[in-house]
Chains A and B, each alone.
Chain A
Amino acid sequence: MNPIRKKRLLSIFFVFLFSVSGVSLILYSLNSNLDYFFTPSELKEVDIPPKKRIKIGGMVLEGSVDRNASDISFTITDYENSIVVLFEGIVPDLFKEGSGVVALGYLNDEIFYAEEVLAKHDENYMPPNLDIEK
């Protein structure tokens, strides 16, 4: 093969190698950092390892909010199944019983330990997958 061609081929090969490894690194880190979203009913059907960070969305069950010192516990429900959530900290302004909420955290022994609790800024917000029932 002539030397110029050889050089060009080699550089193309390296560019290709770098791009492929770069993209696969990005995809790998994307895959290991995804937060899956479940409703309480969907949660019943899947098996989630305790170290996997997930999101749970639904409505705050009426009468389930229990504050204790700086902890708060409440139940997220989709009116078929529900799950108890524990959270330490201040819940957002729009958090209230009977309205939509999304919690981010870890599931352990049927209890959800939330790191973050989000209520939507829009007062008409409905968590995804729930808008049909109501």
Chain B
Amino acid sequence: MIVEISHFLAIISTALFFLAGLFALTIKNTFYTTNLISKTFSHAFLFFSASFFIYIYLAITDDFSVQYIANHSNSALPIFYKISSIWSAHEGSMFLWIFFLALWGFIFNIFIKNTEILKPKTIGIISLVIVGFLLFLLITSNPFVTILPIAPVNGADINPVLQDPALAIHPPTLYLGYVGFVIPFACSMAFLINNDASVKWESLVRKWSVMAWIFLTIGITLGSWWAYYELGWGGYWFWDPVENVALMPWLAATAFLHSLSVSIKSSHLRTWTILLSISVFSLSLFGAFIVRSGIIDSVHSFANDPQRGLYLLAFISVIILISLSLFISRFSLTRTHRSIKTLSKESFISINNIFFVTLIFSIMLGVTYPLIYEYFYDQKISVGAPFYNAIFIPIVILASIFLFFSIESKWSRSIDLKIFINPIFISLILSFVATLIVFINLEKINVFILLSIFTGLLIIFRYLIEIWNSFVYKKYLNPFSAIAHFALGLLLVSISLNSLLSSERALNIKINEYEEYEDLNIYFRDLNLVKGPNYDSVKANFFIEDENGKSFNLYPEKRRYSRRGQITTETAIYITPFRDIYLTIGDQLEDGSWIVNIQINFLIRWIWFSAFLMAFAGVVLISSKRKV
């Protein structure tokens, strides 16, 4: 039985990871022990990846004697989805999660030289985290369980809403981001254990953290994009608990990267940076806990098993407890007595960190408050978009204004007011004029939306001027910061205009009838029954013409998957640079007409583009030759 080999290899690797962790944290580190720890870790990883790849092989070859594969895959699936079925439910997702955790550790192990003082302890801490998760996998959610003696002929099939390319790569990308923050976490812990303030752990982890941040950014964006076209609700963000628990580590990680750059440049905020490194990783684990425990009802919570939740909660608590006690016991290690100069770059980043923490705190409150409330008052409540909007919109606007003024700021010096008047003044005027144009052309007015358009434009124009200056006058510009913040400005403007301009309506339309919506002329041409490989579907054909005489066809579908009997809506989207025409088909009424939902979503592509641009900024930083 091949699956037993895979299982056995995973158990061996657990023991080896444990040995690596034990060596690293108990033996005095010398050149030889470091070498030993590094080798042990590499071997543990080799065993574990062998186990993982054998498991993938089992999924590809349809070994339905493995219960997990039998429950989530099917021999009719293309190979791509046979592989992605591994992370379509709980056990396999955890397997992948641990594989990535170990992979980050392995790459770190290869690229960082053995002479690096913090290396053995960092590897040791990563090993122990892996052991914790491996025990969780083997004890509470074992993917190696077999169905014996007789294996089913075919599997139960993957959930149809998950049969999608974006969703096949969304979880792995997100996981790579989540677990990538084990490196800054382990490094900061190693730094605290090592107890020597002169060791610069911050420079060591900069690029690693940015890399994890890139994956997290892309992962969240892919999820948003997938939800938009697959779920048929048409939005890009729903403030669903699971989205929230992914956003919290992202915000913490972004705050961490800012604080990290201060610690590297001027040794300020070092204590704070360590605290953030703990927070980012804890929030990632908290995300895993919320999604996996099923404690909160959500699209994503597929594993409602209290035992799992309890184990994860205990594991997270132990990690947080140990790391925080270590942090407190070494609190004075990184203390500086110099204070931060007002209006210096450090001061702006400190303010930015306060904003980030406020946002994280608010989300945390929104996610956990219903649980607390129900416990005390026995009344179910939920916290929806209105709360998050009320918090996020003003804070993001405020933060963006600070960002705008911080662009001219320098490390350890106050801004010289004379030089910075000019570009600021120009961008203020430009943004004001642009916002005024938006204001005049609109019927609906919302002060907050106009304000966020204004601040978004401020950032965009300000950076355009900077980019111009850097090309023409060769003025120094940090490309990472410039692209990332420019993307933020673009994101603000896109989100605001999207919420201001987008609209939707449910139409009631018969075949061969016309209907009008906004500038569109919609003709319901045809309706067909279509048979797909593993589903039957009703496929409508709409002919749509806009006011400029430009026409196109849209084919929204309703599918019923034969294996699970599940019905899904397939949206039909016509994409133009500035707006999406988004069509979904509902039910048929008694008089033979169909309910069809039409949405016009403005600038929605720009929202994802901005997010990808942020991730791209990270790529620019990683590939830059400049030392940290």
Are B508 and A69 neighbours in the complex by a CB distance under 8 Å?
A: yes
Q: Does A34 lie at the interface of the complex (its beta carbon under 8 Å from any beta carbon of B)?
A: yes
Q: A26-B391, A91-B586, A93-B568 are in contact. Are A70 and B383 (CB under 8 A)?
A: no
Tell whether, in the assembled complex, residue A26 and residue B386 are in contact, meaning their CB atoms are under 8 Å apart: no
Q: Which residues of A contact B387 (CB under 8 A)?
A: 29-30, 33-34
With an 8 A cutoff between CB atoms, is B503 at the interface? no
| Interface bits A1-40 vs B (CB < 8 Å: 1, else 0) | 0000000000000000000001100110110011111000
Known: A22-B358, A67-B589, A90-B597. A30 touches B366 (CB 8 A): yes
- Is A50 part of the binding interface, using a Cβ–Cβ cutoff of 8 Å? no
**Stretch of B374-382, B402-410, B525-533 at the chain-chain interface:** B374-382
Say yes or no: is B384 at the interface (Cβ < 8 Å to chain A).
yes
Taking the closest CB of chain B, its distance from the CB of A55, in whole angstroms, is: 6
B127 / chain A contacts, CB cutoff of 8 Å = none
Map CB proximity to B onto A98-114 as digits: 1 under 8 Å, 0 otherwise. 00000010000000000
Interface code A61-93, partner B: CB below 8 Å = 1, 0 otherwise?
000000111100000000000000000111101
Contact of B365 among A26, A69, A129 (CB under 8 A): A26
Contact check, A29 vs B391: say whether CB atoms are below 8 A apart.
yes
Q: Are B302 and A122 in contact (CB under 8 A)?
A: yes
Cβ of B568 and Cβ of A34 under 8 Å apart?
A: no
Chain A residues near B161 (CB, 8 Å)? 121
Q: Mark A53-64, 1 if CB is under 8 A from B, else 0.
A: 101000000000
Inter-chain contact B380/A93, CB cutoff 8 Å: no
The answer to whether A35 touches B586 (Cβ under 8 A) is no
Tell me if B148 is interfacial: C-beta within 8 Å of chain A: no
Contact of A70 with B381 at beta-carbon distance under 8 Å, contacts A26-B391, A30-B366, A90-B584 already known: no
A94 with B567: in contact, given A26-B362, A30-B365, A33-B384 (CB under 8 Å)? Answer: yes
Q: Does A47 contact B (CB under 8 A)?
A: no
Give the shortest distance, in Å, between B244 (CB) and chain A (any CB): 14
Contact A67 B383 (CB under 8 A): no
The answer to whether the Cβ of B164 comes within 8 Å of any Cβ in the partner chain is no
Q: For chain B, what secondary structure do more than half of its interface residues adopt (helix, strand, loop), or is it mixed?
A: mixed
Would you call B390 and A33 a contact (CB within 8 A)?
Answer: yes
The smallest beta-carbon distance between A130 and chain B, in angstroms, is: 11
Give the shortest distance, in Å, between B399 (CB) and chain A (any CB).
Answer: 14
Q: Is the CB of B586 within 8 A of A55?
A: no
B562 proximal to A (CB < 8 A): no
Tell me if B384 and A35 are in contact (CB < 8 A): yes
Q: Is the CB of B590 within 8 A of A37?
A: no
- CA A70 to CA B508, docked complex, whole Å: 6
* Cα distance, A33 to B387, chains bound together (Å): 5
Asked if residues A33 and B569 are in contact (CB atoms below 8 Å), the reply is no
Decide: A120 near B297, CB < 8 A? Known: A26-B361, A35-B383, A36-B380: yes
Q: Distance (Å) between the CB of B156 and the closest chain A CB?
A: 13
Please tell me if B587 contacts chain A, counting CB pairs below 8 Å: yes
Nearest chain B CB to A113 CB, angstrom units: 15
A33's partner among B383, B507, B508, B597 (CB-CB below 8 A) is: B383
Residues of A within 8 A of B558 (CB): 93
Q: Is B595 an interface residue (CB 8 A)?
A: yes
Q: Which residue of A lies closest to B358 (CB)?
A: A22
| CB of A124, distance to nearest CB on chain B (Å) | 10
Question: How far is it, in angstroms, between the C-alpha of A30 and the C-alpha of B568 when the chains are bound?
Answer: 34
Docked pose: A134 CA to B302 CA in angstroms: 22
Residue of A nearest to B233 (CB): A92
Given contacts A26-B361, A55-B382, A121-B161, contact A70 B369 (CB under 8 A): no
Assembly CA distance A89 to B598 (angstroms)? 10
The interface residues of chain B lying within 8 Å CB-to-CB of A68 are 589
Q: Give the chain A neighbours of B1 by CB distance below 8 A.
A: none
With CB as the reference atom, state the residue of chain B lying closest to A65.
B587
Say how far A28's CB is from chain B's closest CB, in angstroms.
9
Query: Is there a chain A Cβ closer than 8 Å to B506's Cβ?
Result: yes
How far apart are the CA atoms of A88 and B504 in the complex, in Å? 11
Distance of A78 Cα from B506 Cα, bound (Å): 29
Docked Cα-Cα span, A55 to B565, in Å, equals: 28
Contact residues, B143-200 vs A (CB, 8 A): 161
CB of B566 within 8 Å of the partner chain: yes
In this complex, what residue of B is CB-closest to A120? Answer: B297
- Near A by CB (< 8 A), chain B positions 351-389 give 358, 361-362, 365-366, 369, 373, 379-384, 386-387
Q: How far is the CA of A70 from the CA of B558 in the complex (A)?
A: 18
- Tell me, yes or no, whether B299 is within 8 Å of chain A by CB: yes
- In the complex, 21 of the A-B residue pairs with CB atoms within 8 angstroms, ordered by the A residue number, are A22-B358, A26-B365, A26-B391, A30-B365, A30-B366, A30-B369, A30-B383, A33-B383, A34-B383, A36-B380, A37-B379, A53-B386, A67-B595, A70-B507, A70-B595, A90-B586, A90-B595, A91-B587, A121-B299, A128-B297, A128-B380
Which residues of B line the A interface, CB within 8 A?
161, 232, 297, 299, 302, 358, 361-362, 365-366, 369, 373, 379-384, 386-387, 390-391, 505-508, 558, 564-569, 584, 586-587, 589-590, 595, 597
Q: A30-B366, A34-B383 are in contact. List 5 more A-B contacts (CB 8 A).
A: A33-B383, A34-B381, A68-B589, A70-B508, A89-B506
